[in-house]
A = this chain, B = another copy of it.
C-alpha cells in the first residue's frame, strides 16, 4: 500500500470514528447553535461518563495507590505567579498575519504544511531540495522567529486562504488574559497548567507530610491555552482537563521503594540515541532501561511503568503506545530528563502524557527571602486583622521587601497595602524583620527535585476512541455496524435493559432490574421502544455498552456480552449482582460464562 492510499484509509477511518462520536454525542463542537468556537468542545452524556470514569480510575491508580496529596486550586491566577513561573514571558507561539485580512496563522504550521505538501506531491522535487525540506521539518521546533520568517519568505509561502503575503513572525502569548476585581488594575490569566497551584503550596504540603521527602501532590482540573489555530479535533483545543502529579524527591536520592513492582514490564521505548541514529522504537524492560542509564533514575522509571499500566488498562493498544525521550532541543532548560507517552492514532504519534524530571526549577522560581513578622506588635496594632497583615507581610516579593526594609531603616515606618483587607496600613520597624535567606550551618539545605507526570485527559480519551472502534457486518450482512470495545471500567453505561416485547409484565421486570442496578451503583439505560432487539443491540454497541439484559421471561433473563455476542441465562434476582461482578472486574465474562447456562438466540 503506498503512502497516499494509507493516508486515505487513515482519513476514512477517522471520519467513521468522528461521525459516530459526534452523532452519539460523545462530543460536539461547543456553542454550535451560535456557529461554534474553534477549539472548544462539549462532552455529551456518553463522553462525559467516559471522562469521569477515566478520572476516577486515575484517582484510584495514582492518588489512592501512592497516597498522594490531592489539591484543587483556582483557574484564575494573578499575573505575578505566572511571571515567576516564566509563562508571561515565554509561553508563546510564533504567529504570522495575512497582511490584508489580518487572519492569524501559526508560523511553524504554515512552514510544516508547505514542506510536507512539497515532499508528498511535487514529482519534480530534486533530491537535494527534498533533503533540505526534511531537515527543516526535523529542526522546526528549534527555529527562531527570524529563521522561520526567512524560510517563509524564501519559499514564497502565502496566506493559505487568500494567497496574500504574510507578516514577519512574532510571539503571541497563549494565555487567556483577564482582570481580577473591579479596579481593572490586577491583571490575571486563566492557568495554562495546574502545576503552579501545587508549587506555590509546596511549603504547606511539605509540612502536611510531616516535613518528609519524598511525597507527591496531584491535581485534576481545567487548563486553558488560547491557541492561534486549533485543529485536529480534541487533540489541540483551547480548554482541556489536565491531571498532573508533582512528585518531590531528594535530588541526591531518586530511588523508588516500589520500583521492583514495575521493573519487569516491557514495552516500546524510543530513547534519544535511537531517534537520532534513525533506529525504530524497541521493547525494553523498564528495569533494564534504568540500569543502563537510558532512563535517568528509578523514580522516573517507576512513573513510566505506572503510566504504561494506566493507559493499557483503559484500553489503549500496547502496540501503538511508546515512550519517547525528548531530544536535547525539545527539553525545557530546567529539565533533567523527559519522556512522553505517545499514542498512535490517525493523526500520527500523539503526545498524551509528559513525564518530566523538572529538576528544581519551579520551586526555585517561587523561593523567597526570610520575612519575620513580630506577631505580638502586629496583634496590638491590628487586632482582628492581624492574621491578614501577617500573611501579607510574609508574601512580599523580594524587591518590595527590600524596599520596605530600607524605608523602615530610614523612616521607622512604611505604608503597606494589604490586599485581603483592601486597605493601606502603617508598618512600624518593630513589627517585622526582613532578611535575605541564610543557610543554616547545622543542616543540609537543598531544593527538592520534581518528577512531573502530566496527563492530557482529552487526548488520551480521543486515542482511546480510535483504539476501541471497529465495525462488523449486521446479521443479514447489508450494513456495517459500529462498535466501541471499551472495557467495563471505561464504558459510559455499563448495561442496557430491554424488555423483548412491549408488554406490561416485562416492563415491570425491567423496572425492578433497573432499581437493583441503581442500588449496586451500575449505570444503565432502559429501552422500552418496540424496535427489534437487533437494532437495540446495535444502538448500544455503538455507545460501547458492554452488557445487555434482555427481559424475555419473568423469572430469568438473557445477558449478552458486546464483543463476543455470547449470551447466558441468569435469574432475575441475580442479574444485577452478576453484571456488577463483571463490571467491577471481580469476575471475567469467561468466569460467568462457565457458571451460567448459555443461550442461543
Contact = CB atoms under 8 A, between A and B. Distances in A.
Given A48-B70, A222-B222, A228 B395 contact: no
Contacts of A205: 25, 44-45
Nearest to A368: B33
Interface stretch (A195-203, A441-449, A464-472, A500-508): A195-203
A75 interface: yes
Contacts of A81: 31, 34
B64 A59 contact: no
Interface residues of A toward B: which range? 35 or more
Interface in A33-86: 33-38, 40-45, 47-49, 51-52, 59-60, 64-65, 67, 69-78, 80-81, 84
Interface in A108-124: none
Nearest to A47: B72
A56 to B, nearest CB: 8
B183 A104 contact: yes
Contact of A172 (B161, B182, B210, B394): B182
Interface string A174-192: 0011111111001010100
Contact of A72 (B48, B226, B423): B48
Contact of A34 (B47, B78, B177, B180): B78
B80 A34 contact: yes
How many subunits of this chain does the assembly comprise? 2
Given A36-B395, A38-B419, A420-B36, A64 B200 contact: no
A200 B48 contact: no
6 contacts: A37-B76, A41-B74, A42-B74, A76-B239, A161-B423, A182-B228
Interface of A: 25, 28-38, 40-45, 47-49, 51-52, 59-60, 64-65, 67, 69-78, 80-81, 84, 95, 102-104, 161, 172, 176-183, 186, 188, 190, 197, 200-201, 203-205, 208, 210, 222, 224, 226, 228-229, 238-239, 366, 368, 391-392, 394-397, 419-420, 422-424, 518, 521, 523-526, 529
